[in-house]
Amino acid sequence: MRRRTFLTGTALGAAIATVPSFVTASAATTVTVGSLAELQRAIDRAVAGDRIVLANGTYTVPSGGAITVSGRHGTAAAPITIVAESRGGAVLQGERGFVFVDSSDIVVSGFALRQSTTLEIPANCPRIRLTRNDLRFADVAGLDWVVVRGDDAKIDRNRFHDKTTEGIFLVVDGPGSTAMAQRTQILRNHFADHSYTGANGGEPIRLGVSSRALSSASAVVEHNLFERCDGDPEAVSVKSSDNTVRYNTVRDSRGGIVLRHGNRTTVEGNHLLGGEDGVRLYGNDHLVVNNYFGGLTGRALVIGSGTTRDHHSGETTEQRRGNDACDRAVIAHNTLVGNARTLSGESRTHAPSDVVIADNIMVSGTGTLVDLDQTIGFIWQGNILWGAAADGTLPSAGYRRVDPRLRLDTDGVHRLAAGSPAIDAATLTEPAVTQDLDGHARTGARDVGADEYSTLAPVRRPLTPSDVGPNAA
């Protein structure tokens, strides 16, 4: 069945209605199909604005076959949409699922994807959107589930779950060996239950790879939930430059947010709760602001040392894999409570340098709050330390030891109570930090830590499964 849908009641609809009968007026159509053969035929003739609905059911793509989207082009305002009849109701299994070739402005929505090979968005396919899908590919060792190489891809409101072997849920790479896909959006996804037990290779998200580290990607990773992501020490592994990782929640996971390679990435407003590692930094000119670290059993915040001072073009593959010492980062307005190791460093050849650590709250009952070995030119100011843990290796002028008067809220986050000495006590004026962890405005003199004291309900809280995935708003 092919149902034609016309625009009516608008200027455009009126214009179409007046087209002479001898002129063919193109219009978007909606077609419902009930087999893979019908689906392929509908895709092959689709034009901008068309919507293709696959009826609910389980469909097995034959060995060696695929659902091919080739030479199809929607527009930004009128994409070609391929959608399941109901979310998760159309199950696609078999070796391969969707294969994109020389296409743009395509939306794939609502499928349960159960394939056993990588779903790739190639470099010649810009503006591809994967939304509201449930992904549980075959548990094949070394299989990366989704790989993005095309510009302006959007991966949103999907669920990636249940993998026990090496392989990454979502990789962003690019054309060639050094370039990065541009402006990838990764938002409102639920990444859960990656239980690979190897030393590395089981990240939920990897942005780039060593050879692409110096290339700008301008990717945004926001409002995603990571739960029980234990396949790698890095839940979000950043190996490219100029990215933003914000408003995510990492809960009960081995992995944290790691800027492993690259420069100028912002890590803002994330909740890291009850897992192992928090945030680890290498490379230059990063901003780490408004993050909350609570109850981590490993290292909450690591300022990395390096086997090299700076990565540069012309390095060998082995040199590029090395760690680049963290230089000129700004670490401000973070709250770290009850972590086994609060702020620590490493002991490679090149010490981190010229890092600003300002207006953070660090509270712990055990161990040492600051455990950095060698540093060069660090600036410490306005920090508040509290608890039975030792102060550690920071200058006395860089902190006050005073009870910040934190209250534990029902969402598991410690926020400022009335009368806290952190209120209006921040010292850093640049860069601008206009909001706090909760999404409240920072006005006037800023407060120390991730929370700006307020009696208003938070705009942003730690994410739960109802906030992300196929049924998220």
Output the pLDDT for position 18. 32
* CA pair distance 34, 40, nearest whole angstrom: 11
Contact 468, 188 (CB under 8 A): yes
Amino acid at 199: A
Please tell me the pTM assigned to this model.
0.93
Output the pLDDT for position 7. 32
At the topology level, CATH places domain 157-467 in Pectate Lyase C-like (2.160.20)
**460 Cβ contact partners less than 8 Å away, ≥ 6 residues apart:** 247, 269, 437, 438, 439
Output the pLDDT for position 16. 31
Is 192 strand, coil or helix? strand
What kind and span of H or E run contains 57?
Answer: strand 57-61
Would you say the C-alpha torsion 314, 317, 319, 321 has a positive or negative sign? positive
* Structure confidence by residue, pLDDT tens digits, 427-470: 999 999 999 999 999 989 999 999 999 999 999 999 999 999 99
Output the pLDDT for position 182. 98
Backbone angles phi and psi of 68, in degrees to 5: -95, 125
Task: Name the residue with tokens 């915040």.
Answer: 301
Which residues of the chain fall below pLDDT 70?
Answer: 1-26
